Amino acid sequence: LMLGVAVVVFPVYVALVASTQAPGDLLRGTLPMLPGAHGIENFTRMWQSGVSNAGAPPAGTMLWNSFIMAMAITVGKLSISLLSAFAIVYFRFRFRMFFFWLIFITLMLPVEVRIIPTFQVVADLNMLNSFAGLSIPLIASATATFLFRQFFMTIPEEMLEAARVDGAGPLKFFKDILMPLSITNIAALFVIMFIYGWNQYLWPLLITTDPDYYTIVMGIQRMTSEENPQWHLIMAAVVMAALPPVLVILFMQRLFVKGLTETEK
């Protein structure tokens, strides 16, 4: 286990060390194994001004854009998936299972497959260079709908009958009974979907030409594609880009593991 952890952590350590070096230290062909004395300087410059000659805005702006995009995708996916699974399980209407399998089939159509028509729709709706364009096309989630449906099917029918006897309507049953029981599942999917939204690269790259809407992943790509990359600043941006997903996992670790492993509700 320690050997495996060392293999995984070593590249992170290299990035952290590289982010503390002077501009010329990384051009010598050898990378120091100990942190340098320019860490605060590099992180401050990256946060406040970025690398303007590479077309990358300050890291603070890009991190904020990535956060808004990731949160919009996560909250949107959870909201739509919870409501759609609730409708499929607890409402009886014509073609109910047909619509469920129609949603499930979309698992075979990721955004990379439908990229051209999706881009055309977003362009026609004037959502290029906007947070709506960054997040709305990625909100629908067949995976979350399926997982919530499977969980709702394990809840005893007696709970629904008891809620009806007490005069609770569908939305009250959903809010007061289903939502509290789904907290661990929501937490587990929140972590997965937040990281999914945070790491998006292809879609933001296609619909964003305004630097004010660049995400941190896009910014790193811009900086690495210039003629003479400033690796000390790039590595500072990489370290800052890794922090939010790590913090989300740390704060929600217990609920995340519980949501993935708990079988009895």
The Cβ of residue 242 has, within 10 Å, a number of other Cβ atoms equal to 15
Check residue 265 and give its pLDDT. 44
Enumerate residues 6+ apart whose C-beta is below 8 A from 60: 47, 48
Q: What residues form DSSP beta bridges with 56?
A: 51
* Max intra-chain CA distance, the chain: 76
What are 232's two structure tokens?
Answer: 């000390």
Q: Which residue from 86, 31, 68, 97 is spatially nearest to 235, judged by alpha carbons?
A: 31
pLDDT per residue as tens digits for the range 202-234 = 899 889 888 889 999 988 888 887 777 888 888
pTM here is 0.87
pLDDT per residue as tens digits for the range 166-216 = 888 888 899 888 998 888 889 888 999 999 999 998 899 889 888 889 999
Q: If you search the block for the tokens 């340098």, which residue do you land on?
A: 36
Cα–Cα distance, 18 to 21 (Å, whole number)? 5
pLDDT per residue as tens digits for the range 17-34 = 988 888 777 777 677 788
Q: If you search the block for the tokens 């800052």, which residue do you land on?
A: 240
Cα–Cα distance, 106 to 100 (Å, whole number)? 10
Cα–Cα distance, 118 to 127 (Å, whole number)? 11
Q: What is the CA radius of gyration of the chain?
A: 23
Mean pLDDT of the chain: 86
**Three-state secondary structure of the chain:** CHHHHHHHHHHHHHHHHHCCCCCCHHHCCCCCCCCCCCHHHHHHHHHHCCEHHHCECCHHHHHHHHHHHHHHHHHHHHHHHHHHHHHHHHCCCCCHHHHHHHHHHHHHCCCCCCHHHHHHHHHHCCCCCCHHHHHHHHCCCHHHHHHHHHHHCCCCHHHHHHHHHCCCCHHHHHHHHHHHHCHHHHHHHHHHHHHHHHCCCHHHHHHCCCHHHCCHHHHHHHHHCCCCCCHHHHHHHHHHHHHHHHHHHHHCHHHHHHHHHCCCC
